[in-house]
Amino acid sequence: MCARYNLRMSPAKLAQVFVTVREIEFRQRFNISPTQTVVAIRQEDGKRVPANLRWGLVPMWSKDPKSGPPLINARGETVAEKPAFRSAFKKRRCLIPATGFYEWRTEGKAKLPFNIHLPKDEPFAFAGLWECWDKGAEPLESCTIITTESTGDMAKLHDRQPVILHRNEWDVWLDPDLQEPEPLEAMIRPWDGKLVFDSIDPAINSSRNEGEQFFKPGTEKL
């Protein structure tokens, strides 16, 4: 599962890392939560284009974007068949940039958060889907993060983890002309590189606590 993450980089750095055609205005985020506006990368005319999307996919056939819980995650094992996701999986895939994501270890009544990231805080991309709901006064563009089973140390915290794409997979994932499920499903797998697990101050448990002042390292080990 992935229900909270961070994007600790500038618009200029994001444009450089993801080689987008332009910068997009946003501020560094330390505690991104469901239903908030997030940065995503899509492909348009063969180029990577940044966009602001609401986190929590609203299917195009939904009558009301507020009905039901937000679809913040899509299970990779069924994403090609589920009515809410199958059209987006075929035609509307995106990258969701991040520098880390959070999972919690339960200790009695306490929940200890861990920031899970790549070595040296290297930016990465979740495998995402996006959709446009156009039944309201204004179109609503939204997204979801694909998940898969957890392995290794990740399984100590949760049985699901977000799909992280290798950089050489980014353009393949974004290609709207690629609609056969097999090569796409091959990219939906647990991360096979190194992950770093840093405990974080429990203040991050509240989605209201957004800002660098709440991003404090803890002392616990996984």
Amino acid symbol at 91: K
Flag whether pLDDT at 58 surpasses 90: yes
Q: What are phi and psi for residue 205, nearest 5 degrees?
A: -60, -30
The SS3 of residue 124 is strand
Check if the beta carbon of residue 162 is closer than 8 Å to that of residue 149: no
Catalytic residues: 2, 103
Is 30 inside any structural domain? yes
User: 49 and 41 in contact (C-beta within 8 Å)?
Assistant: yes
pLDDT attached to residue 42 = 98
Report the pLDDT averaged over residues 127-148: 95
Helices (H) and strands (E) in the chain, counts: 4, 13
Tell me the pLDDT of the chain averaged across its residues: 95
User: Does 36 map to a domain?
Assistant: yes
Two structure tokens written together for 64: 């009301």
C-alpha torsion sign, points 75, 77, 80, 84:
negative
pLDDT of residue 135: 84
- pTM to 2 decimal places: 0.96
pLDDT confidence of 218, banded at 50, 70, 90?
confident
Please report, for residues 5, 102, 119, 188, the alpha-carbon distance to residue 153 in angstroms, rounded to integers and kept in the order given.
Answer: 18, 14, 15, 18
Quick one: pLDDT at residue 220?
Answer: 86
Q: Determine the Cα angle at 66 with ends 65 and 70, to 5°.
A: 85
Beta-carbon contacts of residue 36 (< 8 Å; ≥ 6 apart): 54, 55
Task: Read off the pLDDT band of 17 (50, 70, 90).
Answer: very high
Confidence of residue 166 (pLDDT cuts 50, 70, 90): very high
Q: Determine, yes or no, domain membership for 46.
A: yes
Residue 92, token pair as written in the block:
């509307």
Say what the pLDDT of residue 1 is: 82
- Kindly tell me if the per-residue pLDDT of 137 is higher than 90: no
Using CA atoms, how far apart are residues 106 and 43, in angstroms rounded to an integer? Answer: 40
**Residue 144 belongs to domain with CATH number:** 3.90.1680.10
Question: What total of structural domains would you count in the chain?
Answer: 1
Task: Examine residue 219 and state whether it is found in any structural domain, yes or no.
Answer: no
DSSP class of residue 202 equals G
Helices marked H in 61-169 — which ranges? 86-91
- Please tell me the predicted confidence (pLDDT) of residue 156: 95
Residue 29, domain extent:
5-214
pLDDT of residue 149: 98
- How many Cα atoms sit within 13 Å of 155 on the Cβ side? 6
* Helix, strand, or coil (residue 156): helix
Which residue type, as a one-letter code, is found at position 104? W
The whole-number average pLDDT for the span 76-91 is: 97
Distance CA 215, CA 203 (A): 8
Confidence bin at 93 (pLDDT 50/70/90):
very high
Average pLDDT of the residues in 36-60: 96
